Each structure stands twice: as structure tokens, then as C-alpha cells.
Structure 1
Amino acid sequence: MLQLCKVTKSLFISNGRSACSDELIQQEAVTLCINVSKLQPFPAAGIKKLRVPVYDDPGEDLYSHFDRCADAIQQEETRGGRSVVYCKNGRSRSAAVCVAYLMKHRRLTLAEALQKVKTARHVIDPNPGFMSQLQRYEQELKKRRREAD
């Protein structure tokens, strides 16, 4: 079944097949596609596109993309747009990016953010490498907030 799973009112997570359904993209009024893969195609619909070229491999560096993706999702929401984050299966890479966004812009803990994404799409399971990068990101965000206060 093709579907975009709603994480927040302006953020969806999905697999590559669903994200490339122009019908679904239009139906959910998606304005930004974040494709967290090297090989998955983009939908044809004339919308903003951001590619994060990583494989679903624990050794891949997804950490360095967290800020850029989280900020892009937030910027889209501020403009009244909606984003979909996807990878091949919508389980590991896309989930990690959604979790990073929730931690940065919704100020959720890693555990809360994981739970929120899992509620939207129960098959999510970031690989061990991405989980440790998310833990590092959580610490980094805490540090930034302390310095800002």
C-alpha cells in the first residue's frame, strides 16, 4: 500500500515507492522532498528536492546532514509547506533524519522523537551507526542550548 506517514502536520516519512507517487505528493500538498539515498528517484512533481547521498550502512556519515535537513524541514513549515523524508524502505535513513528534526526544532529527547516517528510509521528502525550519531547529535543540541542560554 502506498502511503505517506504523518509525523507532524507538516512532516511525512515514507519509502521510495510512496514518495515517488505524484498523486500522493499532491494529495498531501508536499512542497519539499528529502531523498536520503544515492539511488532512489525523485517524484516528477515540480517541488523542491534535497538529496542526502548516503547508503543504509552503519559506517555512513548521516550526522553531518542532520542540521541542513532539520533546518530545511523547519523552513518549509514556516513557509506553510510540507516535507516528506524518504529512503528506499522508509526504515533507517529517513527515520534518523525525522528524529534529528524533532530533536532540533521540537526540542524532543532522542527517546521521545523516536517514539513519535515510530507512532507514525511503526516499521522504523535506524541502524546502530545512525542511532549512535543521533545520540551524539542529542548531546550536541544540549550543548548548543546551554551556550545559548
Structure 2
Amino acid sequence: MLQLCKVTNALFISNARSACSDELIQQEAVTLCINVSKLQPFPASAVSTMRVPVYDDPKEDLFSHFDRCADAIQGEAERGGRSVVYCKNGRSRSATICVAYLMKHRRLSLNDALQKVKTSRHVINPNPGFMSQLERYQRVLRGRRREAK
């Protein structure tokens, strides 16, 4: 079954097959596609695109892309747009990026963000390397918030 799973009003998560369905992209009014893979295609629809070229490997560095992706999703939402984040299976890489977004811009804890994404897409399961990068991101975000006070 093809579907884009709604995480927030402006954010969806899915697998590559669903994200490349022009019908779904138009139906959900998606304006930005973030492709968290090296090999998966983009939809044919005229939408903004962003590629995060990583494999689903615990050794891959997804951490260095967290801020850029989270800010792109937030910027799109502020302009009234909607984003879909996807990888091949919509399980590990895309989930990690969605969790990072929720932690940064919705100020959720790692556990709460993970739960929110899992509620919209039950199969998510960031690999152990990505989980430890999210834990590190949580510490970084807490540090930034302390400094901002």
C-alpha cells in the first residue's frame, strides 16, 4: 500500500515507492522531498528536493545533516509548505531525520520524538549508530538552549 505517514501537519515520512508517487505528493500538497539515500529516485512532480547521501549503515554520519534538514523542514512549514522525508524502506534513515527535526524545532526529548514518529509509522527503527547520533544531538541541543538563556 502506498502512503505518506503524517508526523505533523507539515511533515510526512515514507518509503521511496510512496514518496515517488506523484499522485500522493499532489494529494498531500508536498512541496519539499528530502531523500535520505544515495540511490533512491525523486518524484517527477515539480517540488523542491534535497538529497542526504547516506546508506543505512550505523557507521554513516547522519549527525552532520541534522540541522540542515530540520531547518529545511521548518522553513518549508513556515512558508505554508509540507515536506516528506524518505529512504528506501522508510524505517531508519528517514525516521532519524524526522526525530532530529522534532527535537530541534518542536523541542521534544529524544524519547518523545521517537514515539511521535513511531505513532505515525509503526515500522520505524533507527539503526544503533543513528540512535547514538540522536543521543549526541540531544546533548548538543540542550547545550545550545542553555547558552541561549
Q: TM-score, normalised by structure 1?
A: 1.00
| Distance across 2 between alignment mates of 1:18 and 1:28 | 12
1:136 Cα deviation after fit? 0.1
Map of 1:129 onto structure 2: 129
Counterpart secondary structure, 1:86: strand
- How does 1:1-149 map onto structure 2 within 5 Å? 1-149=1-149
1:73 Cα deviation after fit? 0.0
1:95 Cα deviation after fit? 0.1
Counterpart secondary structure, 1:44: coil
Q: Please list the CA deviations of residues 71-124 of structure 1 after superposition, one character each: whole Å capped at 9, or x if unmatched.
A: 000000000000000000000000000000000000000000000000000000
| Distance across 1 between alignment mates of 2:55 and 2:78 | 30
Counterpart secondary structure, 1:101: helix
Runs of 5+ consecutive residues of structure 2 not aligned to the other structure: none
| Distance across 1 between alignment mates of 2:146 and 2:48 | 34
Q: Please list the CA deviations of residues 26-47 of structure 1 after superposition, one character each: whole Å capped at 9, or x if unmatched.
A: 0000000000000000000000
Q: TM-score, normalised by structure 2?
A: 1.00
RMSD over aligned Cα atoms:
0.1
Q: Which runs of 4+ in 1 moved over 4 A?
A: none
1:64 Cα deviation after fit? 0.1
Runs of 5+ consecutive residues of structure 1 not aligned to the other structure: none
Counterpart secondary structure, 2:123: coil
1:125 Cα deviation after fit? 0.1
Counterpart secondary structure, 1:49: strand
| Distance across 2 between alignment mates of 1:87 and 1:22 | 16
Counterpart secondary structure, 1:84: strand
Counterpart secondary structure, 1:6: strand
Q: How many residues matched?
A: 149
Same amino acid, percent of matched pairs: 81
Q: Which amino acid aligns with 2:57?
A: D
Q: Which amino acid aligns with 2:124?
A: I
| Distance across 1 between alignment mates of 2:107 and 2:22 | 32
